[in-house]
Structure 1
Amino acid sequence: MTNTTDLPGQPRPGAPGGPATARATCVLAPNPSAMSLDGTNTWILAEPGSDLAVVVDPGPLDEAHLANVVATAEAAGKRVALTLLTHGHPDHSDGAARFAELTGTRVRALDPALRLGGEGLGVGDVVTTGGLELHVISTPGHTADSLCFHLPAEGSLLTGDTVLGRGTTVVAHPDGRLGDYLDSLRRLRALAVDEGVEVLLPGHGPVLDDAKGVIEYYLAHRAKRLAQVETAVENGDRTPEDVVAAVYADVDRSLWPAAELSVRAQLDYLEERGLI
């Protein structure tokens, strides 16, 4: 989350929270910060008319928040039947084990260390619960274990931290890798173009209604930053700290530690390709 630049398209007004689509409701965790924006978006997903729900990213280990997620589902006549994780960062996953206790559900994730109940998630998996159909999309780059979830019935996509509702995300070096991240963004752009994905349901920030425009902005932003990093190195900035000061001068200094992670990933990317 390296800046707070407004993105293309039409973000939903106000803070995240409440129904977002016919199948998705957001419960906002009370963990706002420069990195997590308004807080973590915990998503309750259910097919209209079904009494079963899937929860994506229970969020931090906050008893009141976890209880609120359960209560929100129950108020809509839903029983939580499954928990999924987009990735393992604590603001998305620390509450998962406790949430599993509260709901009696399995936790499915790409990283085996985060799974509860045995079954994981893999590229191309289709998760079906109560008539709801979710397609698992591999999107490494922010982290090695990052996933997105596609709801083809309504052309929406849960993006975790791969794409945010406001600003741009960090490539969390060394686990995150820029080459992987660019490939993931291109994969998501293809979903928008070829599969009709229009709505992005991010892990932080508001819902976005121009999936293709946002993803293309992300790609253009990464290309611009990469060119700036290459220029900084050519101008004699050799350490990641020096490159951050040169390239991210437009970003609040409180976010420079996160920017440094992205710079390290950018430097690795350029070095691997013999460009610096």
Structure 2
Amino acid sequence: MSATPPPSVTAPWAGGQITPRAHCVLAPNPGPMTLDGTNTWVLLEPGATDAVVVDPGPLDEAHLATVLAVVADAGARVALTVLTHGHADHAEAAPRFAELTGAPVRAVGRGHDDLADGDVVRTGGLDLRIVATPGHTCDSISLALPADHALLTGDTVLGRGTTVVAHPDGELAAYLDSLDRLHALTGDAGATAILPGHGPLVPDAGAMVAYYRTHRAERLEQVRQALADGAASEIDVVEGVLQRVYADVPSTVWPAARMSIRAQLEYLDRER
């Protein structure tokens, strides 16, 4: 029996003020891989004047203007930009946003002032703890926002559906470890909500991360079975697994499924 995802926000996702400290500005780039669009998060301690922006998104001047307007309306300025990872739908606008704001950009690698697991970023009275969550990509991080009992997860955990392990940059063993790390931060550990990189607020962080862990284990077992049933003997083993395991997935996301399959095959090869 397949894992059932936990209930999520069912109203059309348009962003807005989501927690006392987190405002979501939805980028105008909806699609099969980006869902409603990229969530750009404006984080601001109530009453403070220094804001943190997480993932300015694609290079869209109107979107960046909207982000700046949200910050200005709160009587604040952008003091820091943080990237959850380097994919263009999250990070393409970072250089332009730095020009507009004069604020530094921090991320893992890619020439930025690197962040490390456990680092605490303090800006305008706001505390964010960096959680290394590689797997979707090698540079993926999440951010714990303890004051709102929330985790900003980028593409590691989405607000709807499941994410891709973007092989070869992404790696399944690292991704499974990252899910374990996020799971340890939920429930009694403090985080009750997920503010994802795409899709709506996840009100039950523990249930969603548990679903992701179960889903990954089930997919991996399905790939093992597909290989046992003859997918390995086919000319293109990736396509063989795709037809057997991902028949329930819309063809619009098959390119992402192929990346995940390659990551799964690499994982199983190492396992053997």
TM range (shorter): over 0.9
Partner amino acid, structure 2, of 1:135: R
Greater mean alpha carbon deviation, residues 104-113 or residues 21-30: 104-113
Q: 3-state DSSP class of the match of 1:185? A: helix
After TM superposition, the structure 1 = structure 2 runs for residues 65-84 of structure 1, keeping only pairs within 5 Å, are 65-84=63-82
Deviation for aligned residue 1:16: 3.4
Equivalent residues in 2 for 1:60-209 (5 A)? 60-113=58-111, 115=112, 119-209=113-203
| Paired position in structure 2 for 1:248 | 246
Indicate if the aligned counterparts of 1:12 and 1:208 stay in contact, CA closer than 8 A.
no
The one-letter amino acid paired with 1:81 is A
Is 1:13 aligned to 2:7, yes or no? no
- Which amino acid in structure 1 is aligned with residue 18 of structure 2? A
Match of 1:158, SS state, is: strand
1:228 aligns with 2:226: no
- Measured in 2, the distance between the counterparts of 1:236 and 1:195 equals 44
Number of positions where the alignment pairs a residue of Structure 1 with one of Structure 2: 266
Q: Does 1:258 align with 2:252?
A: no
Residue identity opposite 2:189 in structure 1: E
Deviation at 1:10, TM superposition (A): 3.6
Task: Determine which structure has greater relative contact order: mean sequence separation of CA pairs < 8 Å that are 6+ residues apart, divided by chain length.
Answer: 1
Q: Which amino acid aligns with 2:240?
A: D
Aligned partners of 1:6 and 1:38: how far apart in 2? 22
RMSD across aligned positions (CA): 1.2
Q: Which runs of 5+ in 2 are unaligned?
A: none
Give the TM-score normalised by the residue count of structure 2. 0.95
Among residues 181, 206, 217, which one is paired with 1:212 in the alignment? 206
**1:166 partner letter:** R
* Separation in 2, partners of 1:211, 1:39: 21
Which TM-score applies when normalising by structure 1? 0.94
Q: Does 1:34 align with 2:15?
A: no
Q: Distance in 1 between matches of 2:4 and 2:37?
A: 17
Residue 51 of structure 1 deviates from its aligned partner by 1.1
- CA distance in structure 2 between the aligned counterparts of 1:254 and 1:130, rounded to whole angstroms: 42
